[in-house]
Amino acid sequence: MTPARKKRLALVALMIVGVAVGVGFALNSLNQSIMFFLTPSEVLAGDAPSDRLFRVGGMVVKGSVSRPGDGLTVQFDLTDNEKQVTVRYTGILPDLFREGQGIIANGRLDGSGRFVAEEVLAKHDENYMPPELAGMHKEGEPQ
């Protein structure tokens, strides 16, 4: 091999190694930061991961929003029209958080089966339905 070829080969090899390391690194990190989306039924069926954050989505049950204590903690039930999960969140709720509205919460379960949210998301459109929830809407949501 000519020196120029050798140099080029070394460069190509270096690039391949670089790309491989990068891809491995990326996939590993991706794997750690994905959040699964579950419905309340799936949560109650025990599908929820215990070691990481996940998302739960559903409609806020009418009349279930309460504020235990005098701080910013709020508690409400989330339903997929089959099962309900109680969610507790300390912080400021988004503008479009309302009873009967579809929302998504990020968080994890505490020991007693209650979902402790770190973040609550409601989308900025009153007709908005999280695509994840659109499926269950069809199955006879009372409207």
Partner 1 sequence: MIPEIGQFALIVALCVAITQAVVPLTGAALGVQRWVAVAVPAALAQLLFVAVAYGCLTWAFLSHDFSVLYVAKNSNSALPLIYRISGVWGSHEGSLLLWSLVLTLWSAAVALFTPGVPRVMRARVLAVMGLVSCGFLLFIIVTSNPFERLLPAAAEGSDLNPLLQDVGLAIHPPMLYLGYVGFSVAFAFSIAALISGQVDSAWARWSRPWTNVAWLFLTLGIALGSWWAYYELGWGGWWFWDPVENASFMPWLMGTALMHSLATTEKRGTFKAWTALLAIFAFALSLLGTFLVRSGVLTSVHAFASDPERGIFILGFLLLVVGGSLTLYAWRAPLLKSAAQTSVLSRDGALLLNNIFLAVVTAAILLGTLYPIAIDAMGDKISVGPPYFNLMFIGLAAPLGVLIGIGMLIRWKHDTFERLKSKLWLPALLAVILAAGLALLLPEFKLAAFVGLSMAVWILLTVISAIRERLQNRSLASALRSTPAGFYGMLLGHLGIAVFIVGITLTSLYTKEKDLRMAPGDTYSVAGYEFTFNGVRQLHVDNYVATRGSFSVHDESGNFATEMFPEKRIYLVQNNPMTEAAINAGLARDLFIALGESLDNQGAWAVRIYYKPFIRWIWLGAIIMALGGVCAASDRRYRRLARGRSPASDALEQAS
* Residues that bind partner 1 in the complex, under the rule CB under 8 A: 7, 11, 15, 18-19, 22, 25-26, 29-30, 32-37, 53, 55, 67, 70-72, 90-93, 95-96, 123-126, 130-132
Amino acid at the residue 23: V
Task: Identify which of residues 72 and 112 has a Cβ nearer to partner 1 in the complex.
Answer: 72
- Rounded to whole angstroms, how far apart are CA atoms 10 and 5? 9
Task: Identify which of residues 37 and 44 has a Cβ nearer to partner 1 in the complex.
Answer: 37
Residue 71 near residue 55 (C-beta atoms within 8 A): no
Least distance between partner 1 and beta carbon 35 (Å)? 5
- Rounded to whole angstroms, how far apart are CA atoms 56 and 39? 6
Task: Identify which of residues 33 and 112 has a Cβ nearer to partner 1 in the complex.
Answer: 33
Task: Give 27's contacts (C-beta < 8 A, 6+ positions apart).
Answer: none
